[in-house]
Amino acid sequence: MPTSLQPTERMFTLSDFDFQLPEALIAQHPAPQRSASRLLDGTASNPVDRIFRDLPGLLRAGDLLVFNDTKVINARLFGSKPSGGKVELLVERVLNGNQVVAHMRVSKKPEVGTTLTLECASGHNDGFSATLLGRWPDNNGTLFRFVLSNHSGDDPYTLMERHGHLPLPPYITHSDSAEDAQRYQTVFAKNPGAVAAPTAALHFDDALFETLDSMGVKKAFVTLHVGAGTFQPVKTENLAEHQMHSEWYSISPETQQTIANTKAAGCRVIAVGTTSVRTLESWAQTGQTQGDTNIFITPGFAFKVVDGLITNFHLPKSTLMMLVSAFAGYEHIMQLYTHAIAQSYRFFSYGDAMLLTRR
């Protein structure tokens, strides 16, 4: 059992963030209604079980909720090599000139210059293909750079929307469906580019927003395009050896001003989801309002913006477990997770949520 020392008094290792999760608690489908999910109130010393629609009772006028307005794209593409071998692409990022950066799953990697024939949606036969240009970001990169094209010269977003599949997380066992197309997307999703949803915001619906608006709780938006790296467990016992993945973010002048006004009024900034935390704290650290971030938040991190956090339950040994432990305190997080498992909370993307305050 880990000791009760403060985070700054001990060195955390990967094993500290491991826990046993019954497979039955991994949510495979969303709750019947968005705000009908459970909410574990972790703002006090002892956990309190609530329903997500109870959230307004835990907030107060002047609080600012900061949401990530990224939109999940149909980033999973299936196709074949000229030899007939099957290939699967997961588009991570869209570049200029109809180029994309993608993960590639294939038995034998094709040579640079090879054109893959990609599967078209039913009713379409527009010559959809991907030509391999090389690795990314350099010759030693783990991702691949392609040019997507069809007979009509459509851009990658159009091609993925028409022919691609929603990239459900690896722990969801069913193929993407009409339900997923609606529910694995926030009600305010705006800027396409993510391959994973900002899942804490999936619990918000229009009725809940109306209640929050009426009581004077404000909202603001940032954009961070969530990458597939968010699902990757840390593999090095020494956390300092972990190479964090990069994700692109942006904060508008309007959101910056709203945050400044909230702080000046002595009110709380509450991030909805760890992606909002990463965006806000990256901005606070660097002063950059747009660009790539590979910020790695572990216990001992000095938060500068975020006062509260709404988040789902995360994978063992993940960077997100480390982030929430840094935010709310390691022992408190482990207490909350133990309670959640004992009370059969639903975990991960389609699972339940918790509310935390900064330690």
pTM: 0.94
Average pLDDT of 162-173? 96
Residue 178: which residues within 8 A CB-CB, separation 6 or more?
none
Overall average pLDDT of the 236-256 stretch: 95
Helices (H), the chain: 156-163, 178-183, 206-214, 253-264, 274-286, 319-328, 330-342
pLDDT digits (tens, 9 = 90+) for 24-57: 999 999 999 999 999 999 999 999 999 999 999 9
Report the distance separating Cα 61 and Cα 41, nearest Å. 19
Q: pLDDT-based confidence at 7, cuts 50/70/90?
A: very low
The whole-number pLDDT of residue 5 equals 36
- Whether residue 163 contacts residue 151, with contact meaning beta carbons closer than 8 Å, is answered with no
Q: Which fold has domain 76-163?
A: Thrombin, subunit H (2.40.10)
Instruction: For residue range 48-98, list pLDDT tens digits in order.
Output: 999 999 999 999 999 999 999 999 999 999 999 999 999 999 999 999 999
Whether the Cβ atoms of residue 309 and residue 280 lie closer than 8 Å to each other: no
Q: How far apart are CA 164 and CA 286, in angstroms?
A: 36
- Averaged pLDDT for residues 188-208: 97
CA 50 to chain centre: 23
Lowest-pLDDT choice from 121-125, 146-150, 342-346: 121-125
According to DSSP, the residues that pair with 48 across neighbouring strands are: 41
**Which CATH code is given to the segment(s) 7-72+179-357?**
3.40.1780.10
Average pLDDT for residues 237-266, to the nearest whole number? 96
Whether residue 3 has pLDDT greater than 90:
no
The pLDDT score that the predictor gives to residue 233 is 81
Give percent of the chain above pLDDT 70. Answer: 97
Q: Per-residue pLDDT for 8 more than 70?
A: no
Cα(88)–Cα(78) distance, rounded to whole angstroms? 5
Model pLDDT, residue 6: 43
pLDDT the model gives residue 124: 85
What's the confidence (pLDDT) of residue 48?
98
Q: 343's torsion region: left (phi>0), alpha (psi -120 to 50) or beta?
A: alpha
Tokens 């391959």 belong to residue: 195
pLDDT at position 9: 53
Q: What is the mean pLDDT of the chain?
A: 95
Domain 7-72+179-357 and domain 76-163 have a common topology: no
pLDDT grade for 297, boundaries at 50, 70 and 90: very high
pLDDT at position 24, please?
98
Domain layout of the chain by residue ranges = 7-72+179-357, 76-163
Check: CB of residue 263 under 8 Å from CB of residue 59: no
The separation between CA 124 and the C-alpha centre of its own chain, rounded to angstroms, equals 31
Place of tokens 């240009």: 133
Instruction: Label the pairing between strands 308-312 and 76-80.
Output: unpaired
Q: Radius of gyration over alpha carbons of the chain, in Å? A: 21
pLDDT of residue 4: 38
